[in-house]
Amino acid sequence: MYGSLFADILGRVRVKRPLVHHITNYVTVNDCANITLCAGGSPVMADAIEEVREMAAVSGALVLNIGTLNPSLVESMIAAGTAANSVKIPVILDPVGAGATRLRTASARQLLDELDIAIVKGNAGEIGVLSGVGGAMKGVDSEGLTGDPVRIAQEFAAREGITVVISGETDIVTDGTRTLLVENGDPLMGIVCGTGCMASSVIGTFAAVCDDPVLASAGALAAFGIAGERAAEKYGRPGAFKVALFDELAALGLRELEQSARVKEV
């Protein structure tokens, strides 16, 4: 059943080609742009405070990624997010490295507090830190959180009134009430820089055409994960795998998404 819902979303992405405004880091920004194109969206990257409100207001979704943040970038995120909220497009937050430094933790917290975030997507450590239960980070990589990740995500989502995604071998997607587990993906995705950021871009692309943030997130993660599985069938090393990851998402058919999505509700 979920497979067919996901395929519907991907079909809408490819017809509408939604504009997905990113304020993101300079490390993986090119990958985020290209994966958005491969999903079927139209990426735009703009971070100047003078223009972000205008760009967000004409976009279908806004992705905020704090991978290489600084205070003036956070100001632009607040401005863009406020504009996005006022035109009611979804805002997706990827709190890269929350927990690794106080600036990252505080900035992610500020964005959650000052904006109406639709979806926050982090690894276990980041979500552990932001939810308050505690999480461990090594740079921008997770070293785990304290407790049961499903329950922590659910409680965090319910308390904040948002959809929470914890990426990992099994991705957890929950709005506090409904919880989906997505099992698509391949371990190779963990040794290519930027796959986490790319996943957030695909979620933003799906959310731009789907009002249900749980479905949009799970569908995006299933699609991206299937692309990863197929790329890994062909290439076992990170460079060639990464090239194929783009290609497999671009080539993913609706029926293939429907049939290969591995998702369950818990």
Which residues would be at the binding site for a copy of itself (CB under 8 A)? Answer: 19, 21, 25-31, 33-34, 37-38, 42-48, 50-51, 54-55, 58-59, 67-71, 97, 100-104, 138-141, 191-194, 237-240, 242-247, 250-251
State in angstroms the smallest separation of the CB of 88 from a copy of itself: 19
State in angstroms the smallest separation of the CB of 63 from a copy of itself: 13
User: Phi, psi at residue 75, to the nearest 5°?
Assistant: -60, -45
Residue 100 or 127 having the CB closest to a copy of itself: 100
State in angstroms the smallest separation of the CB of 243 from a copy of itself: 4
State in angstroms the smallest separation of the CB of 24 from a copy of itself: 9
State in angstroms the smallest separation of the CB of 27 from a copy of itself: 5
State in angstroms the smallest separation of the CB of 173 from a copy of itself: 26
Residue 251 or 266 having the CB closest to a copy of itself: 251
Residue 31 or 94 having the CB closest to a copy of itself: 31
CA atoms of 14 and 5, how far apart (whole Å): 15
Residue 21 or 121 having the CB closest to a copy of itself: 21
State in angstroms the smallest separation of the CB of 28 from a copy of itself: 6
3-class secondary structure for the chain? CHHHHHHHHHHHHHHHCCEEEEECCCCCHHHHHHHHHHHCCEEEECCCCCCHHHHHHCCCEEEEECCCCCHHHHHHHHHHHHHHHHCCCCEEEECCCECCEHHHHHHHHHHHHHCCCCEEEEEHHHHHHHHCCCEEEECCEEEEECCCHHHHHHHHHHHHCCEEEEECCCEEEECCCCEEEECCCCHHHHHCCCHHHHHHHHHHHHHCCCCCHHHHHHHHHHHHHHHHHHHHHHCCCHHHHHHHHHHHHHHCCHHHHHHHCCEEEC
- Token code pair at residue 16: 């509408």
Residue 155 or 186 having the CB closest to a copy of itself: 186
State in angstroms the smallest separation of the CB of 15 from a copy of itself: 14
> Looking only at Cα atoms, what is the longest distance across the chain?
45
Residue 30 or 86 having the CB closest to a copy of itself: 30
Residue 179 or 205 having the CB closest to a copy of itself: 205
CA atoms of 232 and 240, how far apart (whole Å): 9
Residue 173 or 208 having the CB closest to a copy of itself: 208
User: Phi, psi at residue 226, to the nearest 5°?
Assistant: -65, -40
